[in-house]
Structure 1
Amino acid sequence: MRTFTFPVRWAFLSVLALWLAGCTDPYMPDVITSPPSYLVVDGFINSQGVTTIKLSRTYAVASKAAVPVETRATVYIEDEAGTRQLLTESSVKGTYASVAHTLNTARKYRLHINTLAGREYVSDYVPVKTTPPIDSLPWRTDNNGLSIYVNAHDATNATQYYRWEYVETWEINPIYRPSVEYVNNRMRDIVVPYPSICWGNAASTIIQIDKTTALTQDIVSDFRLRLLPINSDLLNSQYSILVQQYALTREEYAYWELLRKNTESIGSLFDPQPAQLTGNVHCISSPDEITLGFIGAHSLSQRRIFIRRQDLPANWRPRTGYESCMPPDSVFIDRPAPPPPNPAFILQGAFAGGAFLPIEELYSQRGVLIGYTAKSKDCIDCRTRGTSVKPSFWP
């Protein structure tokens, strides 16, 4: 166990870190530190459900501020005949949503945006594509880990261009069950226990697309979506993945393919160099202004599977995610020596602010209370890593 004496003894290391940081001056070109603020349009026109569009602005790479969002805009879907459907801004600033609707597949649609600053943007009119259902989400294990695949087909050969996203959910089981807590400068038996289980959640961050134009049939067979290593903590108890499938036009597929190459294929002088990314959204009030995003119109197909720890090979040893939290630390009542007249002062130094939490009492071999085992909040309260509210879809 490590021994902690509070206040924490890191003064020298802090000074050293600041001195080392002062040895170099980072260089950030003006184009990076003060880039133009371009509108970013994220989403698609959902032909069979709710359309959700997110509007934000480009910002400096070095910026530590939150992503700037475009609020109080007027956003609506319109068809070639001029029929409009309004999207309203939700409680999440910069996010606009429609009511559930079913669009006419015989018409073309576009997105129309008027910002509060008076800028007007439109996307190109696009045809409506119907996304076929996901046939299956098989998974297999080997020495590399757990691979999850997607199978789909379109008997009419009308899809040909596919894109997938996914959302993962997994159980989090903390390793500590505190029996004491520090409240109002004193220790007591814990009143409300910390959650014994939480659920983590993460969305895919890579672009996954495929096309069947070179095949005689419009069939996607065993396209790998996810590879989880053998020791992944996501597999420690129970894991779920929700896969979302979209049918794209050829132009929308080309946009996503270029975006994928720009974000994933650059690492050396021999990799493809970044190309200018042009979508189908334009600023009609200022035609020279760059706008980022591609708005397609299609339906959404989705499917979920669950994988339990007992379904995996018996010799697999998934991590808990709490390996760095062991063993627990110790906070002693009678340190530093000589002890101060008020032992609670030491505990207050250790547990003030709640970043460091007690676990249980620590006794000497003679049965005398000498302190408490403790660890950081992230090691004890699983809500720092997820939510304690059980998802509605969880078994």
Structure 2
Amino acid sequence: MNKQKLIGWLCIALVGGCVDPYRPPEIASPASYLVVNGFFNSAPGTTTTIRLSRTQNLTDFKTPTAETKAIVTIEAQSKAVYTLNEGTPGSYTLAGVTPVSGDTYRLHIKTRGTDYYSDYVPVVKTPPIDSISWDVVDDGLQISANTHDPQNNTRYYRWEFDATWEYYSRFYSSLELKNNQIVGRQIPINRCWNSESSTNIITTSTVRLKQDIVSKYPLTFIPGTSLKLESRYSILVRQSSLTQSGFEYYDQLAKITQNIGSIFDPQPSQITGNIKSSASATDLVMGFFRVGNVETKRIFITKSQLPVWYTITGQEGCEIDTLGLGDILDSRPAIIEPYNKLYLTTPEYCADCRLRGGVLTKPDFW
């Protein structure tokens, strides 16, 4: 390499080594804003739960800090006041109180010397879910919600869901190592259940329709190859009715958090709910307080109801090997069963379903 090229490469290396990554001030900002999650439950005999926490910057990967020792009350415009009690840190509950239809309520939080108030909001009744339907679409399963309000009063809807599915390991391990001895396995590890909750904001409005009817509104799509459909799948759907302002809040929140990807999508912007600080307009609060009930419905879908789909399990490369006790003590595989004074074995991942994220405990509703 000649001298000029060497100097050129050294300059590039020095310049590159002196460039600091750009970190916008918002990413590392020490500001911590109040986050409010919960609603005043209007269903008789239920408990209202309000959870308080704090925002954190994007460089902080710790669990959000719970807001403890706050004074949390729900105040009716008719002057009634209900105080919530803190149980687990940051979680405030109220039992035995049902909001009165026709009255309006606001949330009042006092913490760190500052008062936060929501707008007064009415009691909004949620109609029942008519059904949760599913259809085979594009080599997968589309799950949808169906509901209606015969009084044409609801118009604004939101859904959340919890999904649970059963799955199996490729091989059944009947033996295990204990104290360097091979013994019969007491607890099977080939059958598991996994679960997840919805993360996207799912809302719709029937304002432009003559009748307040929602038909086959899409909730989630599952590819036919998904492990969720290997054996049995269940989804519990929660339906809530919103006010117009509540719908607009969640609709805008969805647009700026779920649809950002190109210059044609909504650009990042500041959005807050109906809760505000009494001290400063710059002391933001994240969340939206509402009063109403939640309707739920659960369905089950079994593999026998579906087309013959090939499930991608992640265990396609699993194989069986024959080992003696010495090799088993060295490599610690899963032991399937005895075989000619030796043992049929397989990698632990191929026999222990927990290694794919599930648990062995069957859900109560299964």
| Corresponding position: 1:318 with 2:311 | yes
Partner residue in 2 for 1:388: 360
| 1:128 Cα offset (Å) | 0.8
| 1:238 Cα offset (Å) | 1.1
Alignment of 1:1-395 (within 5 A): 27-48=22-43, 49-91=46-88, 93-115=89-111, 117-184=112-179, 186-313=180-307, 315-319=308-312, 321-323=313-315, 326-327=318-319, 347=330, 350=331, 358-360=334-336, 369=342, 373-376=346-349, 380-382=352-354, 385-394=357-366
| 1:390 Cα offset (Å) | 2.3
- Do the aligned partners of residues 370 and 132 (structure 1) sit closer, same or farther apart at CA in structure 2, a change above 3 Å counting? closer
| 1:294 Cα offset (Å) | 0.8
Provide the C-alpha distance between the structure 2 equivalents of 1:316 and 1:360, rounded to a whole number of angstroms: 27
Provide the C-alpha distance between the structure 1 equivalents of 2:143 and 2:185, rounded to a whole number of angstroms: 43
- Do the aligned partners of residues 274 and 174 (structure 1) sit closer, same or farther apart at CA in structure 2, a change above 3 Å counting? same
Moved more, 246-255 or 186-195: 186-195
- Do the aligned partners of residues 131 and 372 (structure 1) sit closer, same or farther apart at CA in structure 2, a change above 3 Å counting? closer
Structure 1 regions of 5+ residues with no counterpart?
1-21, 336-342, 352-356
Q: 2:151 is matched by which residue type in structure 1?
A: T
The C-alpha deviation readout for 1:247-289, integer Å capped at 9, x for no partner, is 1000000000110001111101222212220211112244431
Provide the C-alpha distance between the structure 2 equivalents of 1:299 and 1:371, rounded to a whole number of angstroms: 55
The C-alpha deviation readout for 1:346-369, integer Å capped at 9, x for no partner, is x3xx55xxxxx5334787xxx675
Provide the C-alpha distance between the structure 1 equivalents of 2:322 and 2:107, rounded to a whole number of angstroms: 59
Provide the C-alpha distance between the structure 2 equivalents of 1:269 and 1:233, rounded to a whole number of angstroms: 35
Provide the C-alpha distance between the structure 2 equivalents of 1:35 and 1:121, rounded to a whole number of angstroms: 20
Contact 1:333–1:371 (Cα < 8 Å) also in 2: no
Contact 1:360–1:374 (Cα < 8 Å) also in 2: no
TM-score (normalised: structure 2) = 0.85
Query: How many residues align structurally?
Result: 348
The C-alpha deviation readout for 1:64-116, integer Å capped at 9, x for no partner, is 2112111222222221123122322333x32222214321011001111122x
Runs (4+) of structure 1 exceeding 4 A deviation are 24-27, 328-335, 360-363, 367-372
Provide the C-alpha distance between the structure 2 equivalents of 1:143 and 1:266, rounded to a whole number of angstroms: 25
Q: 2:157 is matched by which residue type in structure 1?
A: Y
Q: 1:240 is matched by which residue type in structure 2?
A: S
Contact 2:335–2:344 (Cα < 8 Å) also in 1: no
TM-score (normalised: structure 1) = 0.79
Structure 2 regions of 5+ residues with no counterpart?
1-16
Provide the C-alpha distance between the structure 1 equivalents of 2:266 and 2:324, rounded to a whole number of angstroms: 58
SS in 1 for 2:348: strand
